[in-house]
């Protein structure tokens, strides 16, 4: 069997890669578990020269296969599809594992293994949906693991020259999104934006109490967009809501319907500031915010599908 030290050393890297490939913590955990189990039973492990690259290839191939089989399910999905949020509560137990870090990590929640302080934030994770499965794999292997094109070629079964073209094409598709993600991942900005996210959450509560949404509108970019994901299991907007006035009116409307009742807590969501709404000890809503160049909120992603909130736990607060 694969010894515990080795399993723990590669688990953060592999779960982070699988999560970014799939946008699902549960599927990422399953794939990594299966890959490590299969590897531990392999009789040819002693012949493997580069263990890390071998495991990355195993996980990437499994993710590519799953992406292909999940395409039909995605087409039948009710409303907008958003990635599952990897939530970290303020004051949680320990710092999250860094991508590729080889220290042991405590806790069994796969969200604890997801690296935060890097360019692939939640907004970027949403934008990665623009890419095909192979484009996504090549982009992540090159951008976040810094694999050379020969290594990537052996993983995705393409030529190195082809992988170079695929990477270039992926960057073109993500033009603008990468710059926004890089800007928002700067540590100095994150502290400010965490305060802004929390101020926005309090502003829409105040708007519900007073009926005045002007404070909300002032915090939003003119072309702000809200995307909500209920998966057909809870009530959510089927289509994106665009424009500061319409987004503010939406929040005012759901607040009046008492859809914001509960306890709001500030959180880190896949590397970006957000808030979680807890009702009777259960997470019912996670909101993630993105900003424009003028520090106004330009994107709001609202995850309501209960299946995607199953990993949102906080042993130090209301959740368990």
- Tens digit of each residue's pLDDT (9 = 90 or more) over 188-212: 455 666 777 777 777 766 776 677 7
Query: How crowded is residue 163: how many other Cβ atoms within 10 Å of its Cβ?
Result: 25
Looking at domain 187-309, which CATH architecture does it have?
A: Roll (3.10)
DSSP state of 102: -
Give the pLDDT of residue 65: 92
Total-model pTM: 0.82
Give the pLDDT of residue 102: 27
Contacts of 213 (CB under 8 A, 6+ apart): 204, 207, 248, 249, 251, 252
Give the pLDDT of residue 100: 29
Q: 3-class DSSP state for residue 290? A: strand
Give the pLDDT of residue 320: 36
CA pair distance 89, 220, nearest whole angstrom: 25
CA pair distance 29, 17, nearest whole angstrom: 11
Give the pLDDT of residue 93: 38
Q: Residue for token digits 């393409």?
A: 158
Inter-residue contact 9 to 102 (CB < 8 Å): yes
Q: 99: which 2 tokens? A: 């991508």
Whole-number Cα distances in Å, 291 to 181, 185, 219, 299, 317: 9, 11, 10, 7, 28
pLDDT higher than 60, residue 246: yes
Q: Which one, of 205, 182, 194, lies nearest residue 258 by Cα? A: 205
Give the pLDDT of residue 101: 29
Q: 208: which 2 tokens? A: 């519900």
Q: 105: which 2 tokens? A: 């990590």
Q: What is the mean pLDDT of the chain?
A: 80
Q: Which one, of 287, 90, 121, 291, lies nearest residue 192 by Cα? A: 291
Q: 141: which 2 tokens? A: 């292997």
Show me where the domains of the chain are located. Answer: 4-180, 187-309
- Tens digit of each residue's pLDDT (9 = 90 or more) over 274-295: 889 999 889 999 999 888 878 8
Query: How crowded is residue 152: how many other Cβ atoms within 10 Å of its Cβ?
Result: 26
Contacts of 9 (CB under 8 A, 6+ apart): 102, 103, 104
DSSP state of 229: E
- Tens digit of each residue's pLDDT (9 = 90 or more) over 42-87: 767 667 778 888 899 999 999 999 988 777 777 788 999 999 999 8
- Tens digit of each residue's pLDDT (9 = 90 or more) over 12-35: 899 999 999 999 999 999 999 999
Give the pLDDT of residue 118: 55
Q: 41: which 2 tokens? A: 């039973």
- Tens digit of each residue's pLDDT (9 = 90 or more) over 114-136: 655 456 888 889 999 999 999 99
């Amino acid at each position: 069997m694969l010894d515990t030290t080795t399993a723990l050393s590669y688990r953060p890297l592999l779960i982070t890669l699988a999560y970014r490939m799939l946008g699902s913590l549960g599927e990422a955990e399953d794939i990594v578990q299966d890959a490590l189990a299969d590897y531990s039973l392999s009789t040819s492990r002693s012949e493997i020269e580069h263990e890390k690259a071998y495991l990355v290839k195993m996980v990437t191939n499994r993710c590519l296969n799953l992406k292909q089989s999940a395409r039909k399910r995605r087409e039948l999905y009710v409303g907008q599809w958003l990635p599952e949020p990897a939530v970290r509560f303020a004051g949680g137990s320990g710092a999250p594992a860094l991508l590729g870090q080889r220290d042991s990590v405590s806790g069994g929640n796969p969200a604890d293994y997801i690296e935060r302080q890097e360019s692939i934030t939640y907004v970027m994770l949403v934008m990665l949906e623009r890419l095909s499965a192979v484009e996504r794999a090549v982009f992540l292997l090159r951008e976040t693991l810094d694999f050379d094109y020969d290594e990537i070629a052996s993983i995705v079964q393409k030529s190195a020259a082809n992988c170079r073209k695929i990477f270039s094409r992926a960057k073109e598709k993500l033009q603008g999104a990468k710059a926004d993600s890089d800007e928002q991942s700067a540590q100095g900005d994150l502290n400010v934006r965490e305060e802004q996210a929390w101020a926005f959450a309090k502003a829409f509560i105040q708007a519900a109490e007073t009926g005045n949404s002007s404070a909300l509108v002032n915090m939003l970019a003119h072309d702000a967009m809200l995307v909500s994901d209920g998966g057909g299991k809870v009530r959510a907007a089927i289509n994106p809501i665009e424009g500061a006035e319409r987004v503010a009116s939406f929040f005012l409307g759901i607040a009046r319907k008492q859809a914001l009742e509960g306890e709001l807590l500030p959180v880190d969501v896949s590397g970006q500031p957000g808030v979680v709404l807890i009702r009777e000890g259960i997470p019912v809503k996670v909101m993630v915010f993105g900003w424009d160049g003028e520090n106004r909120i330009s994107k709001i992603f609202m995850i309501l599908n209960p299946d995607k909130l199953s990993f949102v736990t906080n042993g130090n607060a209301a959740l368990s």
